[in-house]
Amino acid sequence: METIGIFEAKTHFSEICEKVFKKKEPILITKRGIPIVKINPITISEKGHSDIWNSRENYIRKHGNINEELEIPERTINNYKNPLNK
């Protein structure tokens, strides 16, 4: 598997994405030599869907649609505690 530093990945992101898609091989992104992210290619099925959409279809078949609206809780400073304060 090819590895690329994070600075180069940031600079050439679109080219790296094209390379992963065309070669169908993942690329590992490192920061100071430590692996932090892996970019994997998406496979396309006979229907023309990516494997992500196939996973979604399988989930819906198994669990049904999510029909409820999700409410995002209000973000306030009081919700978050400084881990350094004990």
Mean pLDDT by 10 residues, the chain (86 residues): 93 93 92 93 71 79 78 69 66
pLDDT for position 71: 78
pLDDT for position 82: 65
pLDDT for position 56: 80
Task: List, in order of start, the domains of the chain with CATH numbers.
Answer: 2-63 (3.40.1620.10)
pLDDT for position 13: 94
Burial of 54 (0-12, 13-18, 19+ CB in 10 A): middle
pLDDT for position 14: 94
Q: What phi and psi, each to the nearest 5 degrees, are found at residue 19?
A: -65, -45
